[in-house]
Every structure is written in C-alpha cells, then in structure tokens.
Amino acid sequence: MELLAETAAWFGDPAHWSGTDGIPSRITQHVQLSGLALLAGLVLALPMGVLIGHTGRGGPLAIGIANIGRAIPSFAILVMVLPLVLGLGLGLGFWPTIVALVVLTIPPILVNTYTGLRGVDPEIIEAARGMGMREHQVALKVELPNALPIIIAGTRVAAVQVVATASLGAVVASGGLGRYILDGFARQEDGRIIAGALLVAVLAIATDQLFGLLERRGVSPGIRVGAIRGPNG
C-alpha cells in the first residue's frame, strides 16, 4: 500500500507534468525516438525482405541471421553498439540508443516480409506474369500488397519492442521515459521507478493497439482471408 501511495503521490505532483522533465515532454521524447527507430528499420529491412522474398535467394541465410539477432537481449545490443558509436565520435545519448533500437527492429520486419512474400499463392503470381508483368511489378504490385497483413504484424512486434526497450537509452544518457526509472534508482524513489515503468507499459500497450487497429482497418478483408498461405501451407 505504501508503494501505491508513493506512486499516486508522484503522479499527483504538478511539477511532474510540466517542464523538460515533465511527463508530456518525456512521452514526446520517447515517441520520437521510437518512431524514428521504427522508420529507419522499415527503410532498411522492408526492401531487403521484399528482394529475398521475391527471388528466394539468400533467404535462409538472412532469416537465420535475423533470428540470431532476435535471440540477443536488448541491453546486450546496446552494450555492443556503444563502443562503435563512441569510436565514431558520436558520443552518448541519442546515437547509441537509436542505433541499438534500429538493430532491434530489423529481425521481425525482415522475417515477416520474407515470410509474407513467400506465402503468396503461386497461382496469383503466375497469373500476374501471364498478364505480362515484369518481375519488379510482380513484387511491388502483387506480392507486396498480398503480404501486407504479415508485414504489418511484424512491424507491430517491432514497434512494441522498440517502445519497451527505448527506456534502456537512459543508461547512456538518452531521454524518454527511462529517465524516470534510472533517476528513481539513483534517488531511491520507488514511486518514481514504478511510475516510469507504468508509463512505458501503457505506451507499449497503446502502440500495440494502434497497430492492431491499422491491421484491421488498413488491410482489405479479402487480402486478410484469402491471399496468404501460412508457413505450413
């Protein structure tokens, strides 16, 4: 009960709702950092996934590497990235955090894009080729739209992971909601720690629900139901 009272008191303090260390400011920083990382991950992983998904060349190797990346803990990725970023003279804060988060987004987007394109019904692909479409047209106008539900699902996983993991950026002097958790440990303020963790959790849940809505509203029901064959056929 004491911990709940401390957390409630922390949220009830007007000082925590204004200024550069206020909740709105920290949420904005967290969302900007997460959104930029997700966008960069899409730019890097989506074209690669479309290429190997369409051609089938190098697919098992790329997916194997991506799955290895998935198995590495998020904090370990941050630790591995830090010396590289410091060696380039980019310093602490933004750069080591953003690089680590981008690395985190690539595996689910790459794997799902590849799986989605490889799962498109071959009859649809052959029909497109029979209409005279070139290979890049088949990939972009037929396979990619039909693979969209699986791609969005992978992006949804990546987005939630990034939002949840961005809090680790506070360890390397980045902003965002992780500052509350780190500062809470430094000041021995349990209410601040719990409040920071709750804010991260709520933001991650909101992100998951947002992408779920996008998946339901932004994809044609016909594509969701009939165009994709699952990995098991």
pLDDT under 50: residue ranges of the chain: 224-233
With contact defined as beta carbons under 8 Å apart, do 11 and 72 qualify?
A: no
Q: Residue 63: CA atoms inside 13 Å, Cβ hemisphere, count?
A: 17
User: What token pair was written down for 232?
Assistant: 């098991």
pLDDT of 128: 87
Estimate the crossing angle of helix 94-118 against helix 23-55, to 10 degrees: 40
Residue tagged 């071959």 (tokens)? 122
What does the alpha-carbon distance between residue 79 and residue 192 come to, in Å, rounded to a whole number? Answer: 25
pLDDT of 70: 78
Q: What domains, with CATH codes, occur in the chain?
A: 22-227 (1.10.3720.10)
